Chain A
Amino acid sequence: MDSAGEVVNDGKITLEGFTVAARAFADKWKRHNLSFPPWSWIPLINRTMLKKEEGYLSLEKIIILSSLEGSAEEESLDVTADWSEKEESIDHTVLVQNEEDEAHYYDYHIVYSASYMVPMLYFRGYSSDGKPLSLDVIKRDLPSSSVSLLLESKWTFITQEEHPYLNRPWFKLHPCGTEEWIKLLSESSSSDGCQIPVELYLVSWFSVVGQVVGLKIPREMLI
C-alpha cells in the first residue's frame, strides 16, 4: 500500500483491492457468462487478518471433451448440469474438443501474490480417474495461439509449482510483466489515462490471462 492509499497503483493491486476486485469479477461472471459455472470465493480461514478477509477464486471441473469428428471448435459451448445444486452433481462445461478419447478436467484458481502485488493463475488438469495431466498433454488442450505465445514469450510461461495454500503441485502462469500490460490496458481503455477502477481490475486481467488457457470472457463484462 502506498501513502495515497490507492488499491490499484501502477498496474499492481493491494490485497484489499484484490478481495474487492475478486468479488466484482465473480459477480459479473455470474451475470454475463451463463454458459459457465460461477467462480467461488474460497476464504483462507487460518490467515484472517483483523477485519480483513483473504481468499482466492476457484473455478473447477471444467471439461474438455474428446471430439468425435476430429476438428476443434473453440466457441462450442454446451451447457449441461445444474450447478445450483452443488453438492453431489458434477458441474461441467464443455469448452473445446480435444483430440484424444478421454475427458480432461481442469481446475483454475486466481490467487493473489503479495510479493508481486498482482493476481496469478494456477491451474491443473486431470483425467476422469483423477490422474494429473502432464504439461505436454495440457498444452495440446490449449488454443494453438497460446502455445506459440508460450513458446516465444519470455514473459508468459508456465511452470509447475506448489499451490501456495493446498500443498499440491499445480501449474502456474508466470506473473512477470503483469503490471506492465495492465498499465497498458488502463491507458488505452480510458480517455484520461486513469487507473483501472478496482472493480474492473480482475476483469481486465482475466481478459488477457484467460485467453492463454482458452477461457474467454464476454465483452459485457468489461463495462
Chain B
Amino acid sequence: MIFVFQVGELVRRKGSVGEKRMAVKYVWEGAIPLQIHLHKSEVASHPPPPPALVLAPRIGYLPLLVHLIKPYFKDSLPPGEDSIWFDYKGLPLKWYIPTGVLFDLLCAEPERPWNLTIHFRGYPSNVLIPCEGEDSVKWNFVNSLKEAAYIINGNCKNVMNMSQSDQEDLWTSVMNGDLDTYTRLSPKIKMGNIEDEFSRKASVSSPQSRQGGTEIDVAGQVKTARVPVRLYVRSVSKDFENLEDVPEMDTWDEISYLNRPVQFLRKEGKCFTLRDAIESLLPEYIRDRAQRSGEEGEQRTTDASDVSQETRGELKLVRIQGIEMKLEIPFSWVVNNLMNPEFYLHISVLVKEPQR
C-alpha cells in the first residue's frame, strides 16, 4: 500500500541501525495501486474486459508486472505477437524507470489508483527503446548498478567480479521485493557508503567507507564522495495553487533528465543537506545565498523579501520514494535510506521556470 510517514521523525530519533532498517523496509514495501486498461484498439472481445488491478512495487518496473496483467486480457487480444508497452494519458512510459519514480514524476497530484493503458501491439520504437521482458529489465538494472559502482568506487570491478549466481540472486531479490535476501547479498557488491555524523554512527575503521573517488581527511571521515543521482525535472511556466492545477505532460521533452553524480562534501560542523545536493545540480533554482556566505553559524533567513521570486526560478516540489522532502534533511541520510536497489537515488522535482 502507499505509505506516508514523517521523514523528519525518523531522522530526529538518533539514527541507529534498527531505525535505518525501518526506513529501507518502508521503501521496499512501498507500492502503487494500478488500474490497467487494455487499449481500445486492441479489444477484440465483446463486452470489453474490465481493467486489471495490480499492486506495483515502487522499486520495480512495469514490464515485470506483465505476467500478472496478461491473464486479464488474453482472451480479448487480436491474433499476433505481443510487444508490450504502457502509456499514461497517451504518454508512452519509459519501462526502465522504476515504477515509483514514474508515478512521482507524472502525477503531480497523486492519482489512486493510477490509471494506465497497456498495449500489446504497435510498439512505438521511434520513441521507446525495445523491451524483451525480464531480460531487458535485468540488463538495465545491472548496467545501472555498474554505473553506480563506477561513481561510488571509481571502477566497476565489484560488480564485474560478482559470481553469476550472486548476480542472479541479487536480481531475483529485487524482482521479488525480498529485502532480507538483498540485505544478505549486498555486502558481496562491496559498494561504499557515505557516512557522516548525520547518517549514522560514523565509524573511522568501517570497512564500508568508500575507496576510489573518495577523499579521507585526518580523522578518517569521508570528506568528499560522488553519489549516484538521477534527477527528473519537470518545469511549469506559470505558478499554481494546487497540484491538481499542474498541466499534464504530453511529451518526455518536457522533462529535463540529469544523470549526474552529486559531489558530497563534508565540512567540519556543517551538514550537507538535500538542498545542497540539489543546488549543485540546479543552481538556478536555489535562492541566492551570496549574502550569507560570510555569516558562519547564523540562522538561515527564509525571508523572501530580499529575493525577487518573479525572476528567479522556484523549486515547487521535491519527491523521493513518494515523500515530499524537506530540503534541510541531511543528504547522507536521504541517500542511505531512500536509494533504489541499484544504488541510485531518484529525485523528482517540479520547478517553476525563471522568467528570463
Chain A residues at the B interface, C-beta cutoff of 8 Å? 1, 3, 46-50, 114-116, 132, 160-162, 164-165, 167-169, 176
Contact = CB atoms under 8 A, between A and B. Distances in A.
B85 interface: no
B224 to A, nearest CB: 9
B261 interface: yes
B252 A115 contact: no
A176 B156 contact: yes
A165 B283 CA distance: 19
7 nearest A-B pairs in the assembled complex, by CB-CB distance: A114-B260, A167-B252, A169-B129, A46-B256, A50-B283, A115-B147, A115-B151
Given A48-B284, A176-B156, 9 more contacts: A1-B263, A47-B258, A114-B260, A115-B150, A115-B228, A162-B94, A162-B129, A168-B126, A169-B129
Contacts of A47: 256, 258
B346 to A, nearest CB: 14
A115 B130 contact: no
Given A50-B283, A50-B284, A115-B151, A164 B130 contact: no
Nearest to B223: A3
Contact of A161 (B127, B129, B156): B129
A50 B233 CA distance: 17
Contacts of A46: 233, 235, 256
Contacts of A160: 129-130
Given A47-B258, A115-B261, A167-B252, A132 B126 contact: yes
25 contacts: A1-B263, A46-B233, A46-B235, A46-B256, A47-B258, A48-B284, A50-B283, A115-B150, A115-B259, A115-B260, A115-B261, A132-B125, A132-B126, A160-B129, A161-B129, A162-B94, A164-B259, A165-B257, A167-B127, A167-B251, A168-B126, A168-B127, A169-B125, A169-B128, A169-B129
B215 interface: yes
B217 to A, nearest CB: 12
B253 interface: yes
Report whether over half of chain A's contact residues are helix, strand or loop; otherwise say mixed: loop
B156 to A, nearest CB: 7
B227 to A, nearest CB: 11
Contacts of B260: 114-115
Nearest to B284: A50
A49 B256 CA distance: 13
Q: Which of A46, A49, A160, A176: most chain B Cβ within 10 A?
A: A46
B291 to A, nearest CB: 16
Interface string B225-266: 000100001010000000000000001110011111101000
Interface in B268-288: 283-284
Nearest to A12: B154
Contacts of B156: 176
Contacts of A132: 125-126
A131 B96 CA distance: 24
B96 to A, nearest CB: 8
A114 B259 contact: yes
Contacts of B96: 162
Contacts of B256: 46-47
A132 B126 CA distance: 8
A176 B228 CA distance: 17
B311 to A, nearest CB: 15
Contacts of B129: 160-162, 169
A105 to B, nearest CB: 15
A167 B259 CA distance: 13
Contacts of A1: 263
A157 B239 CA distance: 46
A46 to B, nearest CB: 5
A121 to B, nearest CB: 17
Contact of A3 (B215, B233, B252): B215
A77 to B, nearest CB: 31
Nearest to B233: A46
A169 B150 CA distance: 24
B27 to A, nearest CB: 23
Given A3-B215, A115-B150, A115-B228, A164 B257 contact: yes
Contacts of B147: 115-116
A161 B128 CA distance: 9
Interface string B87-104: 000000010100000000
B260 to A, nearest CB: 4
A97 to B, nearest CB: 28
A49 B150 contact: no
Nearest to A162: B129
Contacts of A114: 259-261
Contacts of B128: 169
B123 to A, nearest CB: 11
Contacts of A167: 127, 251-253
